[in-house]
Structure 1
Amino acid sequence: MGLVFCCWLFLLLTLVSSAWSLSSDGLTLLALSKNLTLPSSIGSDWNASDSTPCKWNGVRCNSRDRVISLNLSSSGISGSLGPQIGHLKYLRTLVLTKNKVSGSIPPELGNCSMLDHLDLTDNFLSGEIPASLGNLKELSYISLGFNSLSGTIPEELFKNQLLVEVYLHYNNLSGSIPSTIGEMTSLRFLWLHENMLSGVLPDSVGNCTNLEEVYLLDNQLSGALPKTLGEIKGLKIFDATNNSFTGEIPFSFQNCKLEIFILSFNLISGEIPSWLGSCSGLEQLGFVENSLSGHIRASVGLLKNLTYLLLSHNSLSGPIPPEVGVNSRLKWIYLDNNDLVGEIPPNICSRQALRILDLAYNRLNGSIPSGICNCPSLERLILRENNLSGSNGFQ
């Protein structure tokens, strides 16, 4: 009986000793794994008998065996992210991209004060973005896109001067863009599209002078575009499709770096800005369904990198500038539903790139250029509701 008791006691002490031998970060990860369901290929590797978790799947440590990275991207993880995450004080990278993680983002994540890279993209997260994420002063990258997050964007999050990349797209976020956006002076990429954001784009965005990409499409934003956008000298992409922005385009660029500039499906008025003619790198220009007036500038037709010219459903008048036909890269030309007059430029389809030409519902006259017949790449030609003469086979 005594021998049995001694064996049992030895086994118990061995188990307790094993549990005690695992570092605090390892114990935290095991606690997380109770709610964050891991597949067997990962879970079997997370062994409580190890002294540290530094060789566990998805885990990386520093020289002191403290966990600095947890990367379980595309690992088939489900369950929720528990509050224990806040105990990983040295964590710099947290990546759970493309899994099935649900529930809310725990406010305790804001205790990971050394966190630099946070990526929870493409999961089933819900609830609000915790204001405590504003405590992550070292954060330079945050991606929460493709989830079901709701509520407002915390002002605290947009006060971070080190944030370079912010991806909050494809969620259910509402409310306004925080005016504190101007404090993110290192910001280069801002993706807020496919949400339910309302209100104006704050004037303070002009303080984000390092911005390169701004995606605001498919929200409920309104008011005038801020003149301060002209302070962002290196802006390459600005897409605000499908909002309710009003008024004329008030900003300008002297040394334009724009590659994509799309304001389609808004309430923009006034003329096409003259400064667009200096945007030599512009590839996509879209103003579909606005209230633009005036002529299509010849300088727009001379943009050699332009592939998409989308100006449908406005009140543009005057002739189609012949310079449009000079561009060898234009694939789509949508000028329909305007008040354009004069003849179709004879060289408009002299290049092989053109695939779609829609000039319907204007007041164009004269004959249909014979060169259209010799445009091998052309897939759609729409000329109806004009005053054109020539073969009706093209109508």
Structure 2
Amino acid sequence: MQHPSLFQPVTLGPHTLRNRIVLPPLTRQRSGQPGDVPTDLMAAYYRQRASAGLIITEGTQIEPRGKGYAWTPGIYSAAQVEGWRKVTDAVHAEGGTIFAQLWHVGRVSHAELQPDGEAPVAPSALQAQRVKAFIETAPGTGTLVDPSVPRALSVAEIKDLVELYAQAARNALAAGFDGVEIHAANGYLVNQFISAHANHRTDEYGGSLSNRLRFLREVVAALAAVVGPDRLGVRFTPLFTSTDQDRVYIGFVEDDPHRTYIEAIKVLEAAGVAYLSIAEADWDNAPDLPADFRRDVRQCFSGRIVYAGRYTAERGAALVDAGLADLIAIGRPFIANPDLPARIANGWPLNALNPATLYGGAEQGFTDYPAYAGSTVPTSNEVLS
């Protein structure tokens, strides 16, 4: 077996994962319309990849205002919950474990995506820069646009949003998910509250780092009360440096990112959450996270640690062997290789990814990537159980 450390079982709260390879949240924009409802095709896609130790779904918006991209799924309506139930049933039929990533884009949206064409909501009325929303221009066709100027949330509305997160977690349980992940990364709503670049509030949710972490603390507490801390994860993008200024939309570069994110991770430790997911910059020449940051993460967080960001099996196994990571998320190769764990274990070659079919569309580039000869995965034509 190649890279045996990736194939050691590991516990995650009440779950025992059969390997340490994670299918991370990957936006695919293939929900059913109208209503942003998960489809049978999505169920087939996730079922094909159920040999991952852990699946984390693509971001699923917790309410209509949380949408920043056409055709992304939600988890706030009865139809969406029913659609996600098809997904979880399909994954469980293959013995897999699946968490829902709960998502609110905040200011990274456009009025055309918002209820009644209103402005997006955010901690402060600051327009997002170097980032695009995606609107539909015709059925099945869309375009990237600059986000609209958001309006600042009132304190009462912030409290309401915490409850919307809690309701989304209840919906996830009703849909059969094994747990949930808070999307607190990539410059979206929770990240906007954390960042001094997006949060210029002067009340209890802004100013000091402790105040900027308040929304995170409240959302974590609310979701832990619903699903249990042992079924809860949180994703961050610390992004210490950026050598590619066209890609800074992945997150925010804080003045003191080490302190900001170690303090944020302490919030998770105090709540006893099951895992922390750290998404690193994912372009080819991106710098690695500083070694002292990885060390401090391990020292201050006792739950499972997941790293993502163009990881190869070799690089991921080295991090696990060093005791710095418990699970490794491998994204793009898992899109093109539904049997990725078997390919890694056996040293089999990988299918190439077609970037043109990443977002939107139907089966092509979604459920039609083949398994390796001698390896089997469920097909998109198979009847879902």
TM (norm. structure 1) is: 0.27
Structure with the bigger percentage of strand: 1
TM (norm. structure 2) is: 0.28
Structure with the bigger percentage of helix: 2
